[in-house]
Amino acid sequence: MYSGNMGRCHDMETLLQAMAILRDTSIQFVFVGGGDKRSYMQTISQELGLTNCLFLPYQPKENLTFSLTACDVSIVSIDERMEGLVVPSKLYSALAAGSAIAAICPAHSYLNNIFAEAKCGSTFVNGNSEGLAAYLYQLSQNPQLAVELGQSGRAYCIEHYTIEKIAQSYLELFKSLLR
């Protein structure tokens, strides 16, 4: 599942090519949201004859919990030109939801460190559609691994990203600035 904005800051092309590679498998891609690249994704997937994808609108906030937890793997993506300028906030929703995660990002992205620590999935360099497709196929053949990755990511989220943890980090930052 790709949930959220499909905008100019996101590498949707790598994902689109992975979808084409996986077209003859049982893997289904669900896109929930909108953005500048949503119509592009729909148009290209139709032109390529991809039947392994579904596009849904943004979901009401009260349904977001159900939407985010309805997948086996969450996709996070950042365009290589946007690294350092934007933060893929959908990572934190995916960690909280407890799903395995596949991230498309530059080789030097901070996401690589988070994934190594959290053991929540894998990252793929922008343009590595083959690697992404192989990983998604591997998870489809080993659903228990996807569950374990999701559980590990959720535990990491609770350890590092609760409101209390973030508030404490801000407090420490402010204290250091006052010194």
Nearest to 140, CA basis, from 49, 79, 52, 32:
52
What's 31's domain CATH number?
Answer: 3.40.50.2000
- Give me the residue label for tokens 């998870």: 139
29 is in which domain, residue-wise?
2-178
Cα–Cα nearest to 35, from 12, 53, 64, 67? 12
Domain count, the chain: 1
* Residue 58, CA atoms < 13 Å, CB-side half-sphere: 7
Amino acid 52: pLDDT = 96
The closest alpha carbon to 74, from 54, 51, 58, 94, belongs to 94
State the DSSP H helix or E strand holding residue 1, giving kind and residue range, or none if neither: none
Percentage of the residues of the chain whose pLDDT score is greater than 90:
89
pLDDT at position 87 over 90? no
Number of other CB atoms surrounding residue 179 within 10 Å: 4
Its pTM surpasses 0.85: yes
pLDDT at 38: 95
* Separation of alpha carbons 81 and 9, rounded Å: 8
**Residue-wise pLDDT tens digits, 95-111:** 999 999 999 999 999 99
Contact between residue 88 and residue 78 where contact means Cβ atoms under 8 Å apart: yes
Give the whole-angstrom CA distance, residue 111 versus residue 35.
22
